Amino acid sequence: MSAGYLRADGRVGIRNHVLVLPSVVCSTHAAMEIARDGDDAIAITHQHGCLHVGDDLTHTEDELIGTATNPNVGGVVVVSLGCETIQGRRLARRIAQRDQRVAFVGIQQAGGTARAIEEGRAEVARMRELLDADARTPLDAGALAVGIDRADHALVAPLREVFDARGWRTLLADPELSGAEAHVSLAGQGAQAIVSLRGAQEAPIGFATCPVIAVAGDPELYAALHDDFDLDAGDDAPAALAERIAERVAAVADGERTASERRGARDFVLRRLAVTM
């Protein structure tokens, strides 16, 4: 990796996103509208933020904060309804405590959705000006952390070896997680890029704040969706495939867009500890 965006906490981002973060499902529409016309503004949608209690509330809030403070995010606009369990102002304060730029927009405080969207777009524009002033800084290889979304996959060992040789750190998702849930966890750990090892009949997915290098594990599905994958496992030996994946990660770290980034795939799925209705 030749250059990236140095953050206040010393980490580095390979992207410089403004994240529009709804604190509750009820504010996701406003968040999407706020980000719609923004330059490199990304809104996530989720079904959470209300009817949480105990450990489930803490876990969900922590997952949202982990995404908001990923090094690829240069600034955050929290969008709140005003009566949710995961309170938007508290969420914004906790994000700010992690040395992240953050602004708050409240739908009820603004007097309704239309005014909140207007305020949110103004905050995104202000945040974008700050981010545009961030210079790309030369960085050493040790600043890059690469997530792998399947801890039990046979490619983990050869990927670790190849990443170690390049001076990169390897982050593994919880073995109980895979796909979009694993990506949220890896973003919270600080991964700047994620290698997604897809299985048989598993289509490629993206993520809100981290570029995802999707590796097809199904030749027939790859043939049908080759433009949506980044790599095909093919007939390569594990060591050779690991090298190919590392080469693509390096290119993505230098600014090349992944297939999911090109098509705007921003999957975001939180693992819940409790079921609510």
- What is the full DSSP assignment across 27-96? GHHHHHHHHHTSTTEEE---S-SSS--HHHHHHHHHHHHHHHTSTTEEEEEEEE-SS-SS-HHHHHHHHH
pLDDT tens-digit profile of 58-87?
A: 888 999 999 999 999 999 999 999 888 889
3: in domain: no
Give the lowest-confidence range in 56-65, 112-121, 221-230: 56-65
* pLDDT band at residue 132 under the 50/70/90 scheme: very high
Q: Count structural domains, the chain.
A: 2
The CATH number covering residue 170 comes to: 3.40.50
* pLDDT band at residue 57 under the 50/70/90 scheme: confident
Of 109, 132, 155, the last residue of a domain is 132
**Beta partners for 4?**
137
11: in domain: no
- Residue 145 pLDDT more than 90? yes
Residue 103 CA neighbour count, 13 Å, CB half: 21
What is d(CA 97, CA 173) in angstroms, rounded to the nearest whole number? 25
Please state, in angstroms and as integers, the Cα–Cα distance from residue 10 to each residue in 68, 99, 147, 190, following that order.
Answer: 16, 10, 19, 12
What is d(CA 249, CA 125) in angstroms, rounded to the nearest whole number? 30
Residues 106 and 149 in one domain: no
What is d(CA 89, CA 150) in angstroms, rounded to the nearest whole number? 35
Residues 56 and 160 in one domain: no
- Residue 162 pLDDT more than 70? yes
* pLDDT band at residue 1 under the 50/70/90 scheme: low
How large is the average pLDDT for residues 148-162? 96
Reference 268, options 84, 28, 104; nearest CA is 28
Q: How many helices (H) and strands (E) does the chain have?
A: 10, 12
Q: Exposure of 175 by Cβ count < 10 A (0-12 exposed, 13-18 middle, 19+ buried)? A: exposed
- Residue 40 pLDDT more than 90? no
How large is the average pLDDT for residues 185-209? 95
- Residue 274 pLDDT more than 70? no
What pairing do the DSSP bridges indicate for beta strands 12-13 and 3-6? antiparallel
pLDDT of residue 276: 55
What is d(CA 130, CA 203) in angstroms, rounded to the nearest whole number? 37
Residues 127 and 151 in one domain: no
Write out the residue range of the structural domain in which residue 242 sits. Answer: 139-263
Q: Which residue has the tokens 């990169």?
A: 168
pLDDT tens-digit profile of 228-270?
A: 999 998 888 999 999 999 999 999 999 999 999 999 999 998 8
The mean of the pLDDT values for the chain is 92
